[in-house]
Amino acid sequence: MRKRVVAICAATQLFAAVTTGAQVREVEVTGGRVSGVVTNGIAAFKGIPFAAPPVGDFRWKPPQPVNRWTGVKDAAAFAPSCPQDVSFLKLFGAPEATGEDCLYLNVWSGAKAAGERRPVMVWIYGGSFVGGMTGIPAYDGTRLAEMGVVLVSIAYRLGPLGFLAHPELTKESGKGSGNYGLQDQIAGLRWVKDNIARFGGDPNAVTIFGESAGGMSVSMLAASPAAKGLFHRAISQSGGHFGPARVGVVAGATSPPLSVAESIGLAFLKRLGAADLKSARQLPAEKILTAVGPGLQGAFWPVFDGDVLPGDQYELYQAKRFADTQVLIGSNSDEGVTFSPGASAPDAFERLLRTGYGAHADKLLAVYPHATDREATQSMRNLLRDTTFGWPTWAWALLQSKHGSGKAYVYYFDHRTPISRNGAGHAAEIPYVFRTLGTFSGPSGLIGAPQPEDRAMSDLMSSYFVNFAKTGDPNGSGLPKWPAFTESTQMVMHLDAKSSARPVPNIEQIKALDAYFAWRREEAKARKE
């Protein structure tokens, strides 16, 4: 089967590559004219502005209309990434330039003329909402463009510059505050709607996709009224955002309600020594980042502001208040290793559960073995995987299949390599999707030269993803049959050495977490009452 898949995918790519070269190389877009670089029939346009620089008085405001330019803008190089810990850029091999003037996007297209109406895939990067950039080699859109889609990647503000809420900001907007990074994503999608046809793309066939925080963003956009009509299909890799509001220490809750986010913002400005919003807008971005700290530190995530994010997404889906599109969503088999503290003893595992999972801890302890250090260590990894990625994916698929008309396709990525013998780590699937094997995609990614089985998996995943972007169904001739997830069948595509549709592998633990999250939602309702 694997050989057959490889042969079919290779033939498809050869057919797609037989062109005389892309002719879409200079395009009039919102703001002015841009010139791309054509290589082997694929035109790449990098660093196209889709909004005004969010600096000065525009800091902590929704993205503003792009400034016009004269002449033809050379779109040959990536724009600076949004301000963040520079170690992220070094880690992933991206250009190290950063700056607040960072709202740019990139386009790859094999179209020879505007009007071809190729399906569009819009990539949203991950990075815990504090890091991330479009210039990572693993995100290069060339190979997917060769398969017949127009690939777009968009930048968005991060950390306190992208997700600071504050009473003054809420008053200023008259709506809410704290979701500037999400509003950047929405502005990028509006740009796609207005401009992508000139690159040979179809503005009525837009698939948004992202990984980790990018995948969570995809689910947030699906529940945001502000993004309505801007996309038509959704792919989330290790994403999903269906936990309750974060009030105190609550496992699986990441987004605070507006009142909590505003209190965090008040404390942050005090730590900066800024008397008010005006003085905070005059501070250098570097000082703001320094106050947050290095790495993944910080309390700045998207906010349940009642506007961009109306509230708990689980409840929004139950009320059928979401973008009812086809979705392709999944998680990886060993994602917890990336976030695990390492070796764990039974008593430490129990303490963690009792701290984050409250009165429901005993029920979870019953389904996560922890009698020995070895069991506790493995269960720690599995619990982190299931709470953050596994349950949200399952819950999303269940909600979509119960309350929507668009089908849900679910995967479980378990491709193993010599450095990931225990399963696939967080972000490990990215170069398989983008067909950029050999580029660094995270601590658990492929290291060394890709092997035949790696290339076969990349052929399989990229074919599924591109088929989905084209038709809303990942299936295609010669590929293992991928059935839609339903409440009654709950089948997922296991992407491994024998890729096939099988039941959810850890359903007992997932259902235990589902009961936990249901308890948390009831607890939140009681708190409001």
In angstroms, rounded to a whole number, what is the distance separating the alpha carbons of residues 322 and 394?
17
Q: Where are the domains of the chain?
A: 2-245+254-315+408-474
* Whether the Cβ atoms of residue 210 and residue 126 lie closer than 8 Å to each other: yes
Out of 426, 444, 463, 494, pick the active-site residue. Answer: 426
pLDDT for 223: 97
* 401 tagged catalytic: no
In angstroms, rounded to a whole number, what is the distance separating the alpha carbons of residues 508 and 303?
31
If you write DSSP's letter for every residue of 32-90 in order, what string do you get?
Answer: EEEE-EEETTEEEEEEEE-S----GGGTTSPPPPPPP-SSEEE--SPPPBPS--HHHHH
φ, ψ of residue 490 in degrees (nearest 5): 50, 50
* 232 tagged catalytic: no
Q: Provide the β-strand partners of residue 412.
A: 331, 494
What pLDDT band is residue 12 in, cutting at 50, 70 and 90?
Answer: very low
In angstroms, rounded to a whole number, what is the distance separating the alpha carbons of residues 369 and 377?
10
What pLDDT band is residue 446 in, cutting at 50, 70 and 90?
Answer: confident
The number of C-alpha atoms within 13 Å of 64 and in the hemisphere containing its C-beta is 13
Helices 285-292 and 258-272: crossing angle in degrees, nearest 10, is 110
The pLDDT tens digits for 99-142 are 999 999 999 999 999 989 999 999 999 999 999 999 999 999 99
Out of 81, 153, 212, 340, pick the active-site residue. Answer: 212
Is domain 2-245+254-315+408-474 annotated with CATH 1.10.3720.10?
Answer: no
Residues near 251 by Cβ (< 8 Å), separated by ≥ 6?
A: 356, 357, 387, 516
* 26 tagged catalytic: no
The distance between the two most distant Cα atoms of the chain, rounded to a whole number of Å, is 69
Alpha carbon 520 to its chain centroid, in Å, reads 25
The pLDDT tens digits for 321-378 are 999 999 999 999 999 988 888 889 999 999 999 999 999 999 999 999 999 999 999 9
| H-helix or E-strand spanning residue 411 | strand 408-413
Complete edge-to-edge strand list for the sheet that includes strand 26-29: 26-29, 32-35, 72-74
What pLDDT band is residue 36 in, cutting at 50, 70 and 90?
Answer: very high
pLDDT over 50 (residue 274) = yes
The pTM (predicted TM-score) of the whole model is 0.94
* Whether the Cβ atoms of residue 352 and residue 340 lie closer than 8 Å to each other: no
